Chain A
Amino acid sequence: MERKTVFKGRLLPYLLVAPQLLITIVFFFWPAGQAVWFAFLRQDAFGIRTSFVGLENFQDLFADPLYLETLRNTLVFAAGVSCIALGTALLLAVMADRQIRGAGLYRTLLVWPYAIAPAIAAVLWIFLFHPQIGMLGRALNGAGIPFDYKLNGNQAMLVVILAAAWKQVSYNFIFFLAGLQSIPKSVLEAAAIDGARPAYRFWTVTFPLLSPTTFFLLVVNLVYAFFETFGVIDALTKGGPGRATETLIYRAYIDGRVNLDLGMSSAQSVVLMLVVILLTAVQFRFIERRVHY
């Protein structure tokens, strides 16, 4: 049953959506439009000399083998962050959903990391993993396992993935927990009476019923990994060593803000925008079909 409100005039509905539209235009369409326009320009840092160069920025971008390497890094990074963040959060949510003493306390503690700024989160990870001052880093080196994420690209990637995923676990945890609590107990009890063991119950009943939540979180996590992990990378590795942890968004930042090459940075933003639009479209088109709503 749907309830629809029908307005008589034209003015009132437009007026009501106007604030939202205005915000979207000012904070999204305007800057995005500017990025698209800048992608076709070449200008100096101050914007004193500007010339239209057509697709030259894009040609330069795709002729650069390092850009393709960055793209590969981004895929590894996004997949790593999403898998770890979703898997850990689901496990924790299932644990916290049980009837245990102090469940409220656990839940509160598990949500905490979300309130921590990315740069501060990264500093915590430095204290863990730094080869000389980090607890784990020292312990690993002491145990004869050479660990130096400042020089080893794979280790650096692992560290940034862990740091970025850790921040996202809390967010996922809240949603998974809410999802678990909305699953009717009667369904699970019925399965239990039919003799299904807990693990079997989880994979055949709980997990499919959670799939809308999982699907939503997958999209959110991928977008997070693509767009919002800048702070963690900047504080931990600055994209290095070599370019091992440089992702698309980090490179766009470096080119635009550090190297002051706005045309190149805008071209990358446009590519990034298209990638995410495509990704979301694919997800909705193909994955949503299998989601159990």
Chain B
Amino acid sequence: MQRRSFMAGAAALGLATPTSLRAQSRTEIQFWHAMPGVLGEVVAEQVKRFNASQSAVTVVPSFKGGYIDTMTGAIAAWRAGNAPHIVQVFEVGTATMMSAGPAIRPVHELLGENGVALDPKRYLAGVRGYYSDTKGRLISMPFNSSSAIMFLNLDAFAKAGLSTTDLPTTWAQLRQASEKLKAVTATPVPMTTSWPTWVMFEQMAAMHDVPFATLANGFEGLGTELRLTGPLFVKQVEYLLAAQKDGLFRYGGRDNAADGLFVAGEAAISFMSSSLRSRLEKEAKFKWAAVPLPYHDDLTKSPKNGVIGGASLWTLTARNRTPAEYKAVAAYFQFISEAEQDLWWHKSTGYVPITLAGYEKARAEGYYAQNPGADAAIIQLSRAEPTPNSMGFRLGGMVEIRNIIQEELEKALQGQQGAAQALESANRRGNVVLRNFEKANKA
């Protein structure tokens, strides 16, 4: 942690010194992000392109650690009165940021004040919905978005005598495929999953058009309550428990801890972030496919759109912030929304394009024909008009709720409790979090 912030500090110094010497007249904008390694280099490159494209603004990017470090760091900085102009906040922090009234400048206001016309409709529906208010106005700027999709090890499928072109699309088909994979031990374990809450609960709720919480998953107010005891979730958890019992599924840990199982060829089926594509291209020693997540065909015949993951950019306020600085932020947001820039971002990071124009451009130049499966997340995100259940989640304390669900799921997988009991506990404990958030954020 210390080393990380030291490095980030050193990077910030290294960047800040030459730019401040270069031109006193340029407005300097601090941009805190959470993109490590290669992704961080792409962010730096994007900023460089912007800085070179005009002469009024210099954006200074600083890597501030993981999503949580970046968000808490920015909040602490705001409390101390010197917040960065732009901070990248992950999608589950959206409700917290949105409730922060005077601390943030909503994007639609920012753009309106500075005469920048950006039609919200230019952004992908699944992306736009997550970061908009109930009136459809953008509150934060879409930045890096991914979705959870299914990855299949085609070599293992071939070994088990399964088709490598007609791939499973439903949970029932997956179960059959897993049994065949197990029968020939094509991989040590047939199936695992990353992001247990995001995939098995959030995505499934959206795709099956089932509420995760009341009041349109929290979009319509702080009084929202979880609905985790519903039949879909019971079915999903029971599916996992049964698969585990029969040796078809192995729990690989919280968040993205299970990524390595698929990459290393330990599991033939996994559900991971679409942004894992670049890692697989580099590391996987087998043929693989990326397809949309499976659904329960006895519950729906036409699954809705999935929800995004990733992060968006928030404009923070400060006492001494000038209109010129806000204008500069608006200019940067306009730049990254250009189709050309978006296409470049999409191809260099593996995140989905945030604009429809960027997507069309990629398709027109044959990007998806050359990289099959690179559009699986986009298809999954835009295959239906979002319903109140598939727009996204606006729940206070979402990070905590995700962890609670993971904890209760773990206890069920340990055999300490059944599916119904796990969901009841998760629901009860999650609602306590929501009520606390409501109390703390009441105007």
Contacts and interface: CB of A to CB of B under 8 A. Distances in A.
B15 interface: no
B103 A48 contact: yes
B103 A42 contact: no
A242 B414 contact: yes
Contacts of B439: 42
Interface string A247-281: 00000001001111101100000000000000000
A62 B253 CA distance: 29
B72 A132 contact: no
Contacts of A219: none
Contacts of B403: 254, 258
Nearest to A119: B1
A151 B407 contact: no
Contacts of A185: none
Contacts of A260: 72, 75, 96, 397
Interface in B402-423: 403, 406-408, 410-411, 413-414, 416
B270 to A, nearest CB: 13
Interface in B391-443: 397, 399-400, 403, 406-408, 410-411, 413-414, 416, 429, 433, 436, 439-443
B407 A240 contact: yes
B78 interface: yes
A238 interface: yes
A132 B261 contact: yes
A152 B411 CA distance: 9
A257 B68 contact: yes
Contacts of A179: none
B208 to A, nearest CB: 27
Contact of B264 (A49, A132, A242): A132
B79 A47 contact: yes
B100 A242 contact: no
Given A48-B102, A151-B413, A242-B414, A259 B399 contact: yes
Size class of B's contact patch?
A: 35 or more
Interface residues of A, number: 31
B407 A153 contact: no
A258 B103 contact: no
A144 to B, nearest CB: 15
A72 interface: no
A44 B99 contact: yes
A257 B399 CA distance: 11
B257 interface: yes
B410 A242 contact: yes
Nearest to B408: A242
A37 to B, nearest CB: 15
A133 interface: yes
A292 interface: no
A44 B260 contact: no
Contacts of B399: 258-259
A264 B435 CA distance: 14
A257 B441 CA distance: 17
A7 interface: no
Given A46-B100, A260-B397, 12 more contacts: A44-B96, A45-B100, A46-B75, A132-B266, A133-B264, A150-B252, A151-B410, A240-B407, A258-B400, A259-B397, A261-B440, A264-B436
28 contacts: A43-B440, A46-B100, A46-B103, A47-B79, A48-B103, A49-B443, A66-B429, A119-B1, A132-B188, A132-B260, A132-B264, A133-B260, A150-B251, A150-B253, A150-B257, A152-B414, A231-B1, A240-B254, A242-B410, A242-B416, A254-B400, A258-B400, A259-B397, A259-B399, A259-B400, A259-B433, A260-B96, A261-B436
The 10 closest A-B pairs by CB, nearest first: A241-B410, A259-B400, A150-B253, A242-B411, A44-B440, A46-B100, A46-B103, A242-B410, A44-B441, A242-B407
Interface of A: 42-49, 66, 117, 119, 132-133, 150-153, 231, 238, 240-243, 254, 257-261, 263-264
Interface of B: 1, 3, 68, 72, 75, 78-79, 96, 99-103, 188, 251-254, 257, 260-261, 264, 266, 397, 399-400, 403, 406-408, 410-411, 413-414, 416, 429, 433, 436, 439-443
